Amino acid sequence: MSLELVLITGMSGSGKSVALRALEDAGYFCVDNLPPQLLLQFVDLEQRNARRRVAIAMDVRSADALPQVPGHLDELVRRGIAVRPLFLDATTDTLVRRFSETRRRHPLSRPGQDADPDQQRAVVEAIELERELLAELRQRAHVIDTSVLRASQLQDYVKSLLSAPLTSMTLVFQSFSYKRGIPVDADFVFDVRMLPNPHYEPELRDLTGMDEPVVDYLRKHQEVEDMYADICAFLDHWLEPLARNHRSYVTVAIGCTGGQHRSVYLVERLAEEFGKEWTALKRHREMDAR
């Protein structure tokens, strides 16, 4: 069995330390803030130590050496290492709020910015620079949007992702509410707000798309069946090309007004259907946040 390497990168304040703790709990040997220059030597050492699962966190504190990382990852894949890159992200507003609440300095803050009368503007500038520096790593990784996730939710999600087999592409079906924004980790987004809304039926309002009365209500509407069929047709057409392109994960986000009825129903149904052929996970962003 070859060594499995999970590389965690992402935005400062997005929860990388939380994700690393989850992997440590799951039995990975974890190292935080490993300098990119040492990545290949570190993997060689862990192979000699006969370790099977290793997780490394890298971030913008190693900005000067980050351009080396993509080439190192390609080399590790050539050596037969199972590389699983994860990128943790969040909206800029969320990151600004987290830095404000913790009173931490952004690692890219310039000397003297702590005295800037417009500290929020200074933090936003640092975040946007960080996005530029990490853009290539983000493009190569599976992105996790932590904007509305609690620490325990993020830990559970990371564990569920890494429990999926490496041999096939994993589909992540996610429901969400447009009121709280589109998930930044979505590869495909389908808007289902035009479908009949159970919220306006008093006996269904407090239920969810997993409850049988809501399922019965939605199934009897042809518009819902048409939307389901259209999404299935789109995914049936494009999943194989994505898999041939060596994609490890694909996130399909389904959004409605409240993230409780229509999107939840469709995520449940799509995960069941595509789980027959692919590894399929499901997340209900608004319901999980309760």
The reply to whether 16 sits in an annotated binding site is: yes
Strand segments (E) across 58-208: 82-89, 142-145, 170-177, 188-191
The reply to whether 13 sits in an annotated binding site is: yes
Please state, as a whole number, how many other Cβ atoms lie within 10 Å of the Cβ of residue 172: 26
Which positions ≥6 away from 218 have C-beta within 8 Å?
195, 196, 198, 209, 224, 261, 262, 265
Residue 238 CA to residue 135 CA, distance in Å, equals 24
- The one-letter amino acid code at 235 reads L
The reply to whether 93 sits in an annotated binding site is: no
The reply to whether 10 sits in an annotated binding site is: yes
Angle at Cα 89 formed by Cα 87 and Cα 95, nearest 5°? 145
| Residue 208 DSSP one-character state | -
Residue whose structure tokens are 């800037």: 116
The reply to whether 255 sits in an annotated binding site is: no
The reply to whether 77 sits in an annotated binding site is: no
CA atoms within 13 A on the CB side of 59: 20
Cβ atoms of residues 252 and 142 within 8 Å: no
Residue 179 CA to residue 94 CA, distance in Å, equals 15
For the chain, report the end-to-end CA distance as a whole number of angstroms: 40
The reply to whether 209 sits in an annotated binding site is: no
The reply to whether 15 sits in an annotated binding site is: yes
Residue 200 CA to residue 74 CA, distance in Å, equals 52
Residue 129 CA to residue 135 CA, distance in Å, equals 10
The reply to whether 11 sits in an annotated binding site is: yes
The reply to whether 59 sits in an annotated binding site is: yes
Cβ atoms of residues 139 and 185 within 8 Å: no
Residue 187 CA to residue 142 CA, distance in Å, equals 10
List, as residue ranges, the binding site for ATP. 10-17
List, as residue ranges, the binding site for GTP. 59-62
List, as residue ranges, the binding site. 10-17, 59-62
